[in-house]
């Protein structure tokens, strides 16, 4: 199975679970308040958002008053609650006087809970998944202090002022203790953001330049963009046969010292000097069993020497925090809250001067790329929980057609005592759904452009 197919299947599985549980949240409160639910569907049994086009289901079965099914249009899902203006746009039913079992006959607070049920379920699902993950696997992370050789940066890292060998201490004056938090904190930096670090043994403060967020965003969409990583020594782990490394006799454990008299003790130094000396004679000095040795080699442009260096795992051991069942539940709550706050902060960036909307949006391809190329249960659960948080937030936005749109109208009714007319609901919901479909098409168009043109 290809990596792309594996990621796509994971996304389909994750979204199917989340959409079903989201709709169950609406279903639960509707039944709780004795409201008739006519349909409960994963995916749509019509050409969304046009409720009267291509109406058919891949599977359906009626149990009691509710028809359960799987639609043919693989986008989201829905519950059709009697007497409610929704995706189905059943205007004939709405033209009749309200019945006691219909949504429009219920008290405002009951209708509010029915509409919030999906969002509440997404949040609870995220908390539950995080609690399971932390209870089973614990929480593993690499302390920033474990990067004893400092950091290694790519061109994006260099462009924002970082250098190989820097030791990062804080961002915006706030200490950073985990390596993976560095980029997150830089992305969410204040308007006059700074990075505190130690460079060449001296405390230094650099200002985060305008355009940093956009650069990091683009690097994150590229398979080549690691931005920063722990710096590691250039030590041979294995040598590939019939390569330049094999011909000059490199062996496992050989530690590089210099290339043409320039220091190459770290892997980033070695790679830089190798690129600068393609098609030239390179005098390589290395240390073997405490004794200096050397060799000369000429490499063709863009070719490899033919060895694998020791991996990060040889130098850095992650810390793991274990949680008992009660602690895991507590951690699930706090972590879900942190992810929610983080997602809101990311969302706010879309309105900043520094970030283009086209660089921030992504469709199904972007979502699928979050998952590991090879299925890993821990990774699958963590990303699915995060998407659940994202779905909760997006559905809370006061946009007609989303749960938040209905909530907005209900809160207006509860505050003013005036119910929004069905006609207004119909028109605004139609407009909202069309805009949502347009946004969906645009975001997936951007994914296609990025994939084929690497933009």
Of 358, 453, 342, whose CA–CA distance to 390 is shortest?
Answer: 342
Per-residue confidence (pLDDT) for residue 98, from 0 to 100: 75
Q: Which residues does residue 239 pair with via DSSP β-bridges, in sequence order?
A: 307
What confidence score (pLDDT) does residue 89 get?
A: 53
| Residue 106 structure tokens | 């219920």
Residue 230: predicted pLDDT: 93
The domain over range 236-309 is classified in CATH as 3.40.228.10: no
HSE at residue 154, side-chain half, CA atoms within 13 A, is 14
Looking at residue 44, what is its pLDDT?
85
CA torsion, points 263, 168, 188, 394, in degrees to nearest 10? 90
**Alpha carbon distance 194, 402 (integer Å):** 38
The strand pairing partners of 28, in sequence order, are: none
Enumerate residue ranges in the chain where pLDDT < 70.
1-2, 49-50, 86-95, 220-225, 351-352, 357-359, 454-455
What CA–CA distance (Å, rounded) separates 72 from 80? Answer: 16
How far CA 432 is from CA of 36, 350, 364, 403, 423, in Å, comes to: 25, 20, 20, 11, 14
CA distances from 207 to 14, 116, 181, 184, 204 (A): 40, 43, 18, 16, 10
pLDDT for residue 351: 64
Domain spans of the chain, in order of start: 3-134+373-453, 144-230, 236-309
Name the percent of the chain lying above pLDDT 70: 94
Q: In CATH terms, are 144-230 and 236-309 the same topology? A: yes
C-beta separation of 312 from 305 below 8 A:
no
CATH class of the 144-230 domain in this structure: mainly beta
**Per-residue pLDDT, 345:** 85
pLDDT attached to residue 27: 95
Tell me the pTM. 0.84
């Amino acid at each position: 199975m290809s990596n792309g197919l594996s990621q796509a299947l994971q996304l389909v599985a994750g979204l199917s679970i989340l959409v079903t549980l989201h709709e169950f949240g609406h279903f639960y409160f509707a039944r709780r308040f004795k409201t008739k639910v006519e349909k409960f569907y994963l995916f749509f049994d019509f050409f969304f958002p046009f409720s009267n086009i291509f109406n058919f289901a891949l599977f359906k079965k009626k149990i009691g008053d509710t028809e359960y099914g799987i639609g043919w249009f693989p986008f989201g899902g829905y519950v059709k609650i009697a007497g409610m203006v929704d995706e189905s746009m059943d205007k004939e039913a709405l033209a009749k006087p309200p019945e006691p079992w219909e949504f429009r006959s219920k008290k405002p607070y009951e209708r509010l809970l029915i509409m919030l049920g999906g969002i509440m379920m997404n949040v609870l699902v995220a908390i539950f998944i995080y609690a399971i993950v932390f209870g089973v696997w614990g929480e593993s992370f690499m302390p920033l202090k474990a990067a004893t050789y400092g950091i290694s940066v790519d061109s994006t890292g260099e462009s924002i002022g970082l250098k190989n060998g820097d030791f990062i201490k804080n961002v915006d004056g706030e200490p950073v203790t985990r390596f993976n938090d560095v980029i997150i904190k830089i992305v969410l930096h204040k308007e006059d953001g700074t990075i505190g670090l130690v460079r060449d043994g001296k405390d230094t403060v650099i200002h985060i330049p305008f355009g940093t967020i956009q650069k990091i965003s683009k690097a994150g969409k590229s398979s080549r963009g690691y931005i920063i990583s722990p710096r590691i020594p250039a030590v041979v782990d294995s040598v590939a046969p019939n390569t330049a490394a094999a011909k000059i006799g490199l062996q496992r454990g050989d530690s590089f010292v210099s290339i043409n008299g320039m220091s190459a003790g770290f892997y980033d130094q070695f790679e830089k000097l190798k690129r600068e000396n393609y098609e030239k004679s390179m005098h390589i000095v290395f240390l073997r069993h405490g004794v200096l040795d050397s060799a000369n080699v000429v490499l063709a442009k863009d070719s490899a020497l033919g060895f694998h260096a020791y991996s990060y795992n040889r130098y850095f051991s992650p810390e793991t925090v274990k949680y008992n069942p009660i602690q895991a539940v507590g951690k699930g709550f706090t972590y879900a809250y942190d992810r929610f706050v983080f997602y809101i902060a990311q969302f706010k960036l879309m309105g900043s001067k520094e970030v283009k909307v086209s660089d921030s949006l992504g469709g199904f391809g972007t979502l699928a790329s979050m998952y590991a190329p090879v299925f890993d249960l821990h990774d699958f659960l963590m990303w699915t929980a995060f998407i659940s948080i994202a779905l909760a937030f997006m559905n809370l936005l006061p946009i007609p057609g989303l749960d938040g749109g209905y909530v907005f109208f209900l809160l207006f009714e509860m505050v003013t005592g005036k119910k929004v007319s069905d006609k207004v609901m119909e028109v605004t919901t139609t407009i909202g759904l069309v805009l949502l479909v347009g946004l969906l098409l645009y975001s997936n168009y951007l994914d296609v452009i990025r994939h084929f043109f690497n933009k």
